[in-house]
Chains A and B, each alone.
Chain A
């Protein structure tokens, strides 16, 4: 089966075969990272624009490296220091960029639906690199690739996603991807950070960390944004970390010995993860980052690769 979509917008709209195609492609492209000359000509002559309206180091760098290893020309556009800061609207900026004929626009934006908006307005391929609280499909794909590398397969695995589910695009994309691949998902956090009707997405809900992490194969801890406190959703970071921070003690007491600890980064050390856990033997956090480049190469290759392109 081949890739037929113009854009990559959301895990929700992909079927299992498409997800596996992306992951399998990423798996084969991984070895480029270990080559002495990290460059293949697959996207030579293609132009990729990173259109980032939100701060991001990891994701933007990851897309940039992925594009460059595939020999594409990669241009970074960030909202600060651009026409956006002079009041140009998102859609006008995007149309102006499209007028320069890029092949792929990678977009990160704080509004849900921003990538879908570009996809229906522009002729080039759009990759959603995070749209508000909606989706972040390449993060889910790299998480899935990491899980498969460590666990061998997906079917029957159980995962706990812990923290601010309500505002997390990482949680949403992972929930869709994991459910489609036959995994069991529990989301956990204080009730104010669990969105209403989340069970309708096919997940279980836990209101105690200990209940969520017991006997699961994977624990995915989410970053807690400090704004949640001022919005009255949690009383204090101190209280949050006490009840929802993952420490070595809690892990040893409740979790399986072969559990994987994941985090999309950047980590608030001492808040959602204690340093011993973040850097400990269960942690695959840096591995996730490595897989991120492979996944983004796969996405760019499948969207923009010419028929005769070779990796």
Chain B
């Protein structure tokens, strides 16, 4: 539980630190950060020369699939994937089977995580029973059981009256509503973005308006209720504009973006490879550019992967019948380092902040900084190592990624949770 990390470049946006220093961990907590730290003679020493030492990364949007879909992922495999990808904590969505819409499921997930989890796991509770969009789940009990937010992710609560009541009811718990913003009437039958590529391929597309309209509705409801609204996986330029405008007016709205919406566009669908199929869909080049700008300027608060494991058979067939979603835990950090930080499109400090301090703050989670006294959740990166994404080597039970074969520079090196190295 004690460890001295020597000579790494410590990047801790929470304390505006970016310097070569030592980090001393004792009793599972950060003891001190500084130059040439002395430690008790029996303290193990980790030489981190040339490596980056960051507060533990937190992914607030993953699907661990347990209970119910253990053939896709389990708490054990999903958290191993998280650790291998440099994440020290994840928040998992409620669309399990049965749905996490009652305390017994939350307890089950937390108990599994306590025994088998490689990293910290924070369950997210369903807003409505069975994700049916019709009756509220027992939200107070879910919050008491440890749910850190509420979301019917994968579906949008189409009934504005019900969503308003959910926002109001949960105000005392301090848990945000996470909105999967999609007007199902506008996106009916869609397998991709609506635009020039869907026209060329003859596929039904979801217009950006299907997302924008719900983002607008939910912002208005957040304003009405005073609730904290968090928009999941923002994917359109229009939604960015709405969030920016709402923040300027003081509405309590935050937002996340996925690595794939930053790095890929609808052009990927031309291959008819179902690993280019997710919801929201890959959009246009312009959308991706606007998302990156918004991530840099803070309009978008954090990066989340929407890690969505599916079995091979659910992704290998016809595009329009394949499951939505891709896995992201084991590729996110490498992709972002190589494709955004290395070319200078995003600063390293901003990337680290959007992966640690900002998501922690947003959900009120411990972690996100290397301040003395904080839990010793640390992500160590090797910024120079060259590697190629090889899905066969993933810790996740699933392989559904469009990034297989991508050559990247920089990846997670070691992952430390509560002072213990959980991945190296």
Q: A residues near B, CB below 8 A?
A: 12, 89-91, 109, 111-114, 116-117, 132-135, 167-169, 172, 195-198, 200-201
Residues of A within 8 A of B198 (CB): 195-196
Q: B residues near A, CB below 8 A?
A: 194-196, 198-203, 205, 207, 272, 313, 316-321
Contact between chains at B318 and A109 (CB < 8 Å):
yes
Could you name 27 residue pairs across A and B whose Cβ atoms are closer than 8 Å?
A12-B200, A91-B317, A112-B201, A112-B202, A112-B320, A113-B201, A114-B318, A117-B317, A132-B320, A133-B202, A133-B203, A134-B203, A135-B202, A167-B202, A169-B202, A172-B200, A172-B202, A195-B198, A195-B199, A196-B195, A196-B196, A196-B205, A197-B196, A197-B199, A198-B199, A201-B199, A201-B200
Tell me the complex Cα distance, A238–B199, Å.
Answer: 27
Name the one of A116, A132, A197, A198 contacting B203, with C-beta atoms under 8 angstroms: A132
Tell me the complex Cα distance, A195–B318, Å.
Answer: 22
Residues of B within 8 A of A172 (CB): 200, 202
Residues of B within 8 A of A109 (CB): 318
Contact between chains at B319 and A112 (CB < 8 Å):
yes
Nearest B residue (CB) for A94: B317
Contact between chains at A90 and B195 (CB < 8 Å):
no
Contact between chains at A89 and B317 (CB < 8 Å):
yes
Tell me the complex Cα distance, A90–B320, Å.
Answer: 13
A278 to chain B, nearest CB (A): 26
Nearest B residue (CB) for A198: B199
Residues of B within 8 A of A198 (CB): 199
Contact between chains at A89 and B313 (CB < 8 Å):
yes
Contact between chains at B320 and A134 (CB < 8 Å):
no
A29 to chain B, nearest CB (A): 29
Name the one of B194, B205, B207, B318 contacting A111, with C-beta atoms under 8 angstroms: B318
Nearest B residue (CB) for A167: B202
Tell me the complex Cα distance, A90–B205, Å.
Answer: 23
Contact between chains at A111 and B321 (CB < 8 Å):
yes
A28 to chain B, nearest CB (A): 32
Residues of B within 8 A of A195 (CB): 198-199
Tell me the complex Cα distance, A12–B205, Å.
Answer: 20
Name the one of B201, B203, B318 contacting A90, with C-beta atoms under 8 angstroms: B318
Tell me the complex Cα distance, A195–B195, Å.
Answer: 8
Name the one of A89, A91, A134 contacting B201, with C-beta atoms under 8 angstroms: A134
Tell me the complex Cα distance, A91–B315, Å.
Answer: 11
Name 4 extra pairs, CB < 8 A, besides A12-B200, A196-B194.
A133-B201, A133-B202, A195-B199, A196-B207
Residues of B within 8 A of A114 (CB): 318
Residues of B within 8 A of A201 (CB): 199-200
Q: A89-B313, A116-B272 are in contact. Are A196 and B318 (CB under 8 A)?
A: no
The 7 A-B pairs of least Cβ separation, nearest first, read A133-B202, A113-B272, A111-B318, A197-B196, A195-B199, A134-B202, A113-B319
Nearest B residue (CB) for A165: B199
Residues of B within 8 A of A168 (CB): 202
Tell me the complex Cα distance, A169–B203, Å.
Answer: 10
Tell me the complex Cα distance, A198–B194, Å.
Answer: 12
Tell me the complex Cα distance, A201–B195, Å.
Answer: 12
Residues of B within 8 A of A197 (CB): 195-196, 199
Residues of B within 8 A of A167 (CB): 202
Nearest B residue (CB) for A200: B196
Tell me the complex Cα distance, A168–B201, Å.
Answer: 10
Nearest B residue (CB) for A91: B317
A161 to chain B, nearest CB (A): 14
B39 to chain A, nearest CB (A): 57
Tell me the complex Cα distance, A196–B202, Å.
Answer: 11
Tell me the complex Cα distance, A130–B395, Å.
Answer: 40
Tell me the complex Cα distance, A205–B375, Å.
Answer: 63
Nearest B residue (CB) for A134: B202
A171 to chain B, nearest CB (A): 9
Contact between chains at A117 and B202 (CB < 8 Å):
no
Residues of B within 8 A of A133 (CB): 201-203
Residues of A within 8 A of B194 (CB): 196
Q: A196-B194, A197-B195 are in contact. Are A90 and B200 (CB under 8 A)?
A: no
Tell me the complex Cα distance, A193–B316, Å.
Answer: 30
Q: A112-B272, A196-B194 are in contact. Are A117 and B199 (CB under 8 A)?
A: no
A53 to chain B, nearest CB (A): 9
Interface centre among B194, B203, B318, B319, by most chain A C-beta atoms within 10 angstroms, is B318
Residues of B within 8 A of A116 (CB): 272
Contact between chains at B320 and A111 (CB < 8 Å):
yes
A113 to chain B, nearest CB (A): 3
Name the one of B199, B203, B272, B318 contacting A200, with C-beta atoms under 8 angstroms: B199
Residues of A within 8 A of B318 (CB): 90, 109, 111, 113-114, 117
Nearest B residue (CB) for A111: B318
Residues of A within 8 A of B200 (CB): 12, 172, 200-201
Nearest B residue (CB) for A169: B202
Nearest A residue (CB) for B199: A195
Residues of A within 8 A of B199 (CB): 195-198, 200-201
B138 to chain A, nearest CB (A): 37
Residues of A within 8 A of B272 (CB): 112-113, 116-117
B269 to chain A, nearest CB (A): 9
Tell me the complex Cα distance, A200–B196, Å.
Answer: 7
B42 to chain A, nearest CB (A): 58
Tell me the complex Cα distance, A112–B199, Å.
Answer: 11
Contact between chains at A90 and B317 (CB < 8 Å):
yes
Residues of B within 8 A of A196 (CB): 194-196, 198-199, 205, 207
Nearest A residue (CB) for B191: A112
Tell me the complex Cα distance, A195–B190, Å.
Answer: 14
Nearest A residue (CB) for B200: A201
A172 to chain B, nearest CB (A): 6
Residues of B within 8 A of A200 (CB): 196, 199-200
A154 to chain B, nearest CB (A): 22
Nearest A residue (CB) for B205: A196
A178 to chain B, nearest CB (A): 15
Tell me the complex Cα distance, A201–B202, Å.
Answer: 12
Interface centre among A113, A167, A168, by most chain B C-beta atoms within 10 angstroms, is A113
Residues of B within 8 A of A111 (CB): 318-321
Nearest B residue (CB) for A195: B199
